[in-house]
């Protein structure tokens, strides 16, 4: 069907052809009413059973929600063709960019690599079945005018299922596809990691796998300006044996963020520092042998001093002086490396440090124990308290496989909660049981939590339990009321006992729970407004109890806007700007608020001056390396308004 220049489905004006392939044509279209640009992909029904399965692409894209992925907003069937209406990505593919510039600087490629890893990690972590992309290459990566990477063309992506041992098709782009895509094994996350490595090699060297010398050589042979660290990352990604590659994208991200540590100069510096430390320690030990040998009284004195240091550190931690507390606990570790208390206190100091974001707290707490206890295999690595803390922390992070591993290392646990958490972690981490069995196991955990004598532990466990319900919507659909009930129980428990009363983390969860519930109700109804008002109540309580963060004001301002209280929304965002004047988010939200007010205003003459003012204020503070869809939305509105000459 020839579409250029026509009005399609009385809604889309077809402007141009964006691209053509053997099985499809992609058009540039404009929504007549909204004046918004879309991409429309036309595919003949006769090609649907081909290698690039359109329906598979459609089914996959429909359930994805990530700023680096296009959305499907409409599916239209006419005669023997199917039309997908997708987000139009205003950018240029990296293969075309390569043709123009030859190769890119390492710094640029690393920035793109982090963005690509972020979206791959999102795909690989989807439950119950991760998405394996299987066609990573420069031609499927779009670079927007904002410097953001977008991943396109899900024609051969597939869902990974552990019970399936092989793939049904042997497909991929020659040179970029891993060997297992052409063999008898099932593709998994490591398949995408291989293609990522080849793609990074192509971008950084200008040499594709199908260019002479037709192989992936050491990257610095092709481009001597590259660092050793980057060459190492590419090499590890592109190992033929999947076991020798990075096993997940998080490992790639870690090395990208610590790439300087992979260079020989850094390793040599560390070696020299460690040598000095060893010499000092040796001298200290040697002198200690002569001076303190056989002195048991000194040992008792050391234990007393150790306990005194621990007490001082715990007092500092209670006063929320986390850095000072960690320094103090470090002294205790130096005094006695074979006692678990100081290690546990340091990990908990990181986990409780509210100056850090939650993901940073978890990462620092886990990393400390892994680096200083687990990997060193010291005697306390088998201590139940340390293993239980590791398991609980991974459980909170929803990394159930790792949680199960550490729970499983505890022999005959004294803490009976370990048994219930271990069973739940195994069930959620390995997906071995039916939905009915999963519900029973999680119900057993919930019943056990009710019996916990420690009130604080019970409250924290209720919050962990709500994470299980909200992240397993396939088993617990519409679990909002159940989540709210558990959180309200935790809140009542805290109020009744004085424990955890006024805990902003609990209030934040309650605010979000009521907001999520409202999101599944019809806007404007009495139930919707009531749920949003409860959300506002708890978010405001969170702010009053220490949640003085951008996220808090953001949630409150948006909640007010959703119930039509524009004045309160405006006041909230203005307060947000006053509290965080150097953060772009408050200016962005005010710009979006003023845009929505004007769009919904009954007057015919609309003024978008404030929208433009706050966009410019946000732009001054916005870091282009951040992938923020809200700022992107405001920028899209500004472009539309300029195109309509509503603003200059």
Could you tell me which residues are annotated as the binding site for ATP?
A: 41
- The dihedral region occupied by 215, where left means phi > 0, alpha psi between -120 and 50, and beta the remainder, is beta
As annotated, the binding site includes 41
| Upstream peptide bond of 513 is cis (omega within 30 degrees of 0) | no
> Are 149 and 91 contacting, i.e. CB atoms less than 8 angstroms apart?
no
Beta carbons within 10 angstroms of residue 614's beta carbon: 24
Residue 332 CA to residue 340 CA, distance in Å, equals: 10
Looking at the chain, the number of H-run helices and the number of E-run strands are: 25, 11
- Are 572 and 539 spatial neighbours (Cβ–Cβ below 8 Å)? no
Asked whether 597 and 603 are in contact (CB, 8 A), the reply is: no
d(CA 171, CA 154): 13
Pairing of strands 72-78, 81-87: antiparallel
639, 642, 589, 597: which is closest to 618 by C-alpha? 589
Q: What does the DSSP assignment read for 91-149?
A: EEEHHHHHHHHSS--HHHHHHHHHHHHHHHHHHHT-SSSPEE----SGGGEEEETTS-E
Alpha helices in 336-454 (DSSP H): 341-352, 358-369, 384-396, 400-408, 417-430, 435-451
Q: Are strands 158-159 and 12-20 parallel, antiparallel or unpaired?
A: unpaired
Could you give the maximum distance between any two Cα atoms of the chain, in Å? 95
């Amino acid at each position: 069907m020839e579409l250029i220049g026509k009005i399609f489905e009385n809604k889309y004006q077809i402007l141009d052809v964006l691209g053509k392939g053997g099985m499809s044509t992609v058009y540039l279209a404009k929504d007549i009413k909204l004046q918004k640009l879309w991409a429309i992909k036309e595919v003949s029904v006769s090609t649907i059973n081909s290698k690039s399965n359109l329906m598979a692409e459609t089914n996959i894209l429909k359930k994805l929600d990530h700023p680096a992925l296009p959305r499907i907003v409409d599916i239209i069937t006419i005669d023997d063709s199917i039309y997908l209406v997708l987000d139009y990505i205003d950018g240029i593919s990296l293969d075309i960019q390569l043709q123009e510039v030859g190769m890119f600087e390492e710094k640029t490629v690393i920035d793109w690599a982090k963005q690509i890893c972020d979206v791959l990690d999102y795909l690989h972590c989807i439950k119950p079945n991760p998405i394996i992309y299987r066609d990573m290459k420069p031609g499927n990566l779009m670079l927007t005018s904002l410097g953001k990477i977008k991943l396109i063309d899900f024609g051969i992506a597939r869902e990974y299922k552990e019970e399936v041992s092989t793939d049904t098709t042997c497909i991929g782009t020659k040179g970029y596809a891993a060997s297992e895509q052409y063999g008898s094994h099932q593709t998994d996350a490591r398949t995408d990691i291989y293609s990522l490595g080849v793609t990074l090699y192509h971008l950084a060297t200008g040499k594709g796998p199908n260019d002479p010398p037709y192989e992936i050589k050491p990257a610095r042979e092709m481009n001597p300006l590259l660092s050793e660290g980057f060459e190492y990352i590419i090499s590890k990604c592109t190992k033929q044996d999947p076991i020798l590659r990075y096993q997940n994208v998080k490992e790639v991200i870690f090395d990208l963020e610590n790439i300087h540590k992979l260079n020989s100069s850094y390793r040599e510096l560390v070696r020299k520092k460690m040598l000095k430390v060893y010499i000092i320690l040796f001298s200290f030990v040697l002198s200690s042998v002569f001076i303190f040998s056989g002195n048991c009284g000194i040992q008792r004195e050391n234990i007393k001093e150790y306990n005194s240091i621990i007490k001082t550190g715990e007092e500092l931690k209670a006063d929320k002086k986390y850095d000072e507390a960690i320094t103090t606990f470090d002294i205790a570790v130096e005094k006695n490396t074979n006692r678990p208390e100081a290690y546990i206190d340091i990990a908990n100091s990181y986990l409780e440090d509210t100056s850090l974001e939650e993901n940073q707290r978890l990462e620092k707490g886990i990393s400390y124990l892994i680096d200083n206890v687990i990997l060193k295999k010291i005697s306390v690595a088998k201590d139940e308290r340390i293993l239980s803390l590791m398991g609980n922390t991974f459980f909170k992070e929803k990394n159930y496989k790792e949680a199960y591993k550490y729970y499983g290392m505890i022999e005959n646990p004294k803490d009976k909660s370990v048994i219930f958490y271990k069973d739940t972690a195994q069930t959620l981490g390995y997906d071995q049981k039916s939905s009915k069995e999963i519900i029973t196991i999680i119900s057993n955990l919930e019943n056990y939590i009710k019996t916990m004598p420690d009130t604080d532990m019970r409250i924290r466990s209720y919050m962990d339990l709500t994470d299980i319900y909200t992240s397993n919507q396939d088993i617990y659909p519409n679990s909002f009321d159940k989540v709210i009930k558990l959180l309200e129980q935790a809140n009542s428990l805290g109020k009744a006992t004085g424990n955890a009363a006024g805990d902003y983390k609990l209030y934040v969860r309650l605010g979000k729970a009521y907001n999520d519930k409202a999101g599944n109700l019809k806007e404007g109804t009495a139930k919707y407004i009531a749920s949003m008002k409860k959300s506002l109540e708890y978010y405001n309580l969170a702010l009053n109890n220490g949640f003085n963060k951008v996220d808090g004001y953001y949630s409150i301002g948006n909640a007010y806007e959703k119930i039509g209280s524009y004045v309160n929304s405006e006041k909230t965002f203005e307060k947000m700007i006053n509290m965080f004047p150097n953060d772009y988010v408050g200016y962005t939200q005010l710009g979006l608020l003023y845009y929505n007010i004007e769009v919904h205003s009954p007057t015919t003459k609309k003024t978008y001056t404030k929208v433009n003012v706050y966009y410019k204020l946000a732009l001054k503070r916005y870091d282009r390396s951040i992938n923020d869809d809200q700022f992107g939305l405001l920028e899209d509105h500004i472009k539309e308004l300029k195109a309509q000459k509503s603003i200059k």
